[in-house]
Amino acid sequence: MKIASFNINGIKARAEALPAWLKAAEPDVVALQEIKSTDETFPHEIFDGLGYHIVTHGQKSFNGVALLSRFPLEDVVCGLPGDASDEQARWIEATVVGRRAVRICGLYLPNGNPAPGPKYDYKLAWMARMRARVSALLKTEEPLVFAGDYNVIPQEEDAAKPEAWATDALALPETRAAFRELLHLGLTDALRDRVPGPGHYTFWDYQAGAWQRNNGIRIDHLLLSPQAADLLTAVGIDKEVRGGDKPSDHVPIWIDLDA
DNA sequence: ATGGTTGGTTCCCAA
């Protein structure tokens, strides 16, 4: 089962690039972030003929997440549990059954800039709430995949120019500590596990020729529960997508599970 | 230290 995460930075702007990647990469399940669309205005027609079941959790203008799957999407949960007053669409869960059942959680973790400030407070509170949700799901002992844009640069080696991010919400010590707390629950960072070391980026800013200079950062992650990590057979970043026509500023990251 | 670009919306904000 090939499972991917892709922050598309606007579903309507990616009406050509996203289907083109799906045809080439043939993922079974995809977690999309930043659809920037409501459920009502989501352009389902761009996926016609590609064979995906689709669930969306959108909002107007900003954020918004979705799951695509060649298998039916079961037991869907929209919104990160733990704060009924939170109106930002950043979390969606569903179970897919291939040869085995896997629960997929798609997430768009808050950016948090500027830090310090209320946006950074929201980021840290959201990460604490995610930790509680991960803990609850781990008790099921199901294979779990947490796929998304974490807006976290976990270590210095995950940025081409780490000094440029020293005071940024994506890299502050408190951000990295909160990310490590997730890992310490028992999750495996699939890419770090299989391809340790520097130079593996998933985001290049549109500005200042970041792509041409390979000034990238690794902020899109696939974290696996122990039962999912046992099934991991491959991991990759589809870097070439960044050089295509009308690209997102993020590229897809994917894993293959023996499931 | 600053600037630079894109998307969705709107008389700029978020990233």
Sequence ranges of the domains in chain A: 2-257
Could you identify the residue whose CA is nearest to the C1' atom of nucleotide B10?
A61
Please give the C-alpha separations between residue A71 and each of A117, A160, A227, in angstroms, as whole numbers: 42, 37, 20
Per-block average pLDDT, block size 10, for chain A (259 residues)? Answer: 98 98 98 97 97 98 98 98 96 98 98 96 98 98 98 98 97 98 98 98 97 98 98 98 98 98
What was the pLDDT predicted at A102? 98
What was the pLDDT predicted at A242? 98
What was the pLDDT predicted at A58? 97
Q: Quote the strand ranges of A29-109, DSSP E.
A: 29-33, 53-57, 65-69, 74-78, 91-97, 101-108
Q: Which fold has domain A2-257?
A: Deoxyribonuclease I; Chain A (3.60.10)
Protein-covered nucleotides on strand B (Cβ within 7 A): 3-9, 14-15
Question: Residue A60 CB closer than 7 angstroms to strand B?
Answer: yes
Number of neighbouring beta carbons within 10 Å of residue A156? 13
Q: pLDDT tens-digit profile of A8-63? A: 999 999 999 999 999 999 999 999 999 999 999 999 999 999 999 999 999 999 99
Which of A28, A149, A158, A168 is catalytic? The answer is A149
User: What are A147's strand-pairing partners?
Assistant: A106, A222
Cα–Cα distance, A230 to A93 (Å, whole number): 21
What was the pLDDT predicted at A131? 98
Q: Which residue in the block uniquely carries the two structure tokens 């290049």? A: A204
Closest nucleotide to the alpha carbon of A37, via C1': B8
Q: Which two tokens stand for residue A21?
A: 């990647």
What was the pLDDT predicted at A69? 98
| pTM of the shown model | 0.98
On whether the CB atoms of residues A170 and A164 are closer than 8 A, the answer is no
On whether the CB atoms of residues A76 and A57 are closer than 8 A, the answer is no
- Picking from A34, A93, A98, the residue whose alpha carbon sits closest to that of residue A61 is A34
Question: Residue A118 CB closer than 7 angstroms to strand B?
Answer: no
What was the pLDDT predicted at A205? 97
Q: How many residues does chain A have?
A: 259
Based on the residue annotation, tell me whether A149 is a catalytic residue of this protein: yes
